[in-house]
Amino acid sequence: MSAQASRRMVTLTINGQTYQADEQATVLQVAQKHGVDIPTLCYHPAVAPYASCRLCVVEATLRGRTRIVVSCAYPVAEGLAVETDTPRLHRIRRTLLELYLAQAPGAQRVRELAAQYGVTETRFAVRDPKEKCILCGLCERVCAELIGRSGISFAYRGVERKVTPPFEEPLKNCLGCGACVFVCPTGAVVEKLGAEVLEIEPWGARVPLATCRVCGEPVGPAAALEEIAEKLQVDTERLLLCARCRRQQHGGELARSSRRDREKLAGRASPAPTLE
Ligand code: SF4
Ligand code: FES
């Protein structure tokens, strides 16, 4: 029997509603599946939970004992009772959001979440009013766990802590895949498409763009295309076609094959004339 098939289902409640869930699910996964809103910043379903932002805290009661836990990393259990929206949780989230407003006042997502909880200013010292990074580590985890590059990582401690390429030098081994841009919850990572390079900041990455072998238009980051070609075991040249030229080539091939089909059919329908 496969491991998947042998998994048990458990029964739990979230805000008084009863749900069945796979015993390996987390409270956050079950809540999200059933449309129960729990605020998150550092969670992404594609990578393992890191539980750094703590915003997803809930009250979990099991066997008569209630604890505050982070729902993105807390597994469900038979008989678990979860509350996601109590005054105690609001107090914790408000304090956290005040801290994030000081840490990343430039992040719109942080300001929106804070406003949702009635927090519009912070008691804590703001170091950089433009800062957007909340040090959630999603960019680092995605680069390491999904893309397999580990181009960026945490450096320093305390208030100096940051995510950076090695030695704070411009990132050299970047594929230009843009995964870090996509997952960053606060818009702290941005990409800019130039005529010849893709720039990704704040990593200082400059990834040369490959061009279409027919029309010369940029088709994508050269390093990413090379990696895809290697994984697909095809010649990189085959990927160097822009969407328009790919369509035209595909259209041409279709037209040629349908002409061949028509000629074949015509040949079958009317036998070749014979010489008397
Ligand atoms: S850059 Fe974005 S994804 Fe990376 S740690 Fe900062 S907030 Fe998180
Ligand atoms: S989403 Fe759970 S700790 Fe950040």
143 lies in the same domain as 231: yes
80 with 144, same domain: the answer is no
The CATH number that applies at residue 195 is 3.30.70
Residue 112 covered by a domain: no
Taking a C-beta distance cutoff of 8 angstroms, is the pair 110, 134 a contact? yes
Residues 144 and 221 in one domain: yes
User: pLDDT band at 73, cuts 50/70/90?
Assistant: very high
**Model confidence pLDDT, tens digit, residues 96-141:** 999 999 999 999 999 999 999 999 999 999 999 999 999 999 999 9
Q: Which residue has the higher pLDDT, 15 or 263?
A: 15
Domain membership flag for residue 55? yes
Cα angle for residues 216, 219, 223 (degrees, 5° grid): 115
Q: Which atom of ligand 1 is nearest to the CA of 189?
A: 1
- pTM, whole model, 2 decimals? 0.84
- Residues 145 and 232 both lie in one domain: yes
Residues 164 and 228 in one domain: yes
> Is residue 27 within 6 Å of ligand 1 at its C-beta?
no
Indicate if ligand 2 lies below 6 Å from the C-beta of 51: yes
Is 146 found in the same domain as 235?
A: yes
- Which of 201 and 227 is assigned the larger pLDDT? 201
Q: Helices 87-103 and 108-116: crossing angle, nearest 10°? A: 150
- Residue 173: which of 150, 146, 195 has the closest Cα? 150
Residues 177, 183: Cα–Cα separation, whole Å = 12
In a domain, 79, yes or no: yes
- Does a structural domain hold residue 117? no
Which of residues 85, 101, 119 is at a domain's end?
A: 85
What's residue 184's pLDDT? 98
Asked if residue 42 is part of any domain, the answer here is: yes
Ligand 1 close to Cβ of residue 184 (< 6 A): yes
Answer yes or no: is 156 within a domain. Answer: yes
Ligand nearest the Cα atom of residue 131: 1
Per-residue pLDDT, 5: 59
Number of domains in the chain: 2
**Are 74 and 151 in a shared domain?**
no
Percentage of the chain beyond pLDDT 90 is 76
Cis geometry, peptide bond prior to residue 271 (ω within 30 degrees of 0): no
Does the structure show a pLDDT above 80 at 207? Answer: yes
Is the per-residue pLDDT at 195 higher than 70?
Answer: yes
Mean pLDDT of 78-107: 98
| Position 222 in a domain | yes
Residue 149 shares a structural domain with residue 230? yes
Integer Cα distance of 211 and 217 in angstroms? 5
> What average pLDDT is seen over the chain?
91
- Give residue 269's pLDDT band: very low, low, confident or very high (50, 70, 90): low
Q: Beta-carbon neighbour count of residue 6 at 10 Å?
A: 7
**Two tokens at 84?**
């996601």
Kindly report the CATH number assigned to the domain that includes residue 74.
3.10.20.740
Q: What whole-number distance in Å separates Cα of residue 28 and Cα of residue 84?
A: 10
Beta strands in the chain (DSSP E): 9-14, 17-22, 57-62, 65-70, 81-83, 153-155, 162-164, 190-193, 197-201, 205-211, 218-221
Pair (155, 235) in one structural domain: yes
Q: Which ligand is nearest to the CA of 38?
A: 2
175, 227 contact by CB (below 8 A): yes
pLDDT at 149: 92
Residue 271 has pLDDT above 80, yes or no: no
State the Cα angle at 102 between 152 and 162, rounded to 5°.
Answer: 15
Direct distance between the N- and C-terminal alpha carbons of the chain, in angstroms, rounded to an integer: 73
Residues with Cβ within 8 Å of residue 130, at least 6 apart in sequence:
105, 106
Same domain, 233 and 142: yes
**Residue 1 pLDDT > 60:** no
Give the residue among 51, 89, 93, 58 at the shortest CA–CA distance from 72: 51
Together in a domain, 152 and 223: yes
| Closest ligand by atom to 136 CA | 1
Ligand 1 atom 2: residue of nearest CA: 184
Q: pLDDT at residue 62 above 90? A: yes
* Residue 32 pLDDT greater than 80, yes or no: yes
Q: Residues of 62-92 as b/e, b for ≥16 C-beta within 10 angstroms?
A: eeeeeeebbbbebebeeebebbbeeeebeee
More confident call, 42 vs 218: 42
What SS3 state is found at 209?
strand
**Which atom of ligand 1 lies closest to the CA of 137?**
5
Residue 138 near ligand 1, beta carbon < 6 Å: yes
Beta carbon of 181 within 6 Å of any ligand 1 atom: no
What pLDDT does residue 273 have?
44
Closest residue to atom 6 of ligand 1, CA basis: 133
Instruction: Tell me what pLDDT residue 4 has.
Output: 56
Residue range(s) defining the domain that contains residue 201: 138-239
Q: Which residue has the tokens 């009013």?
A: 129
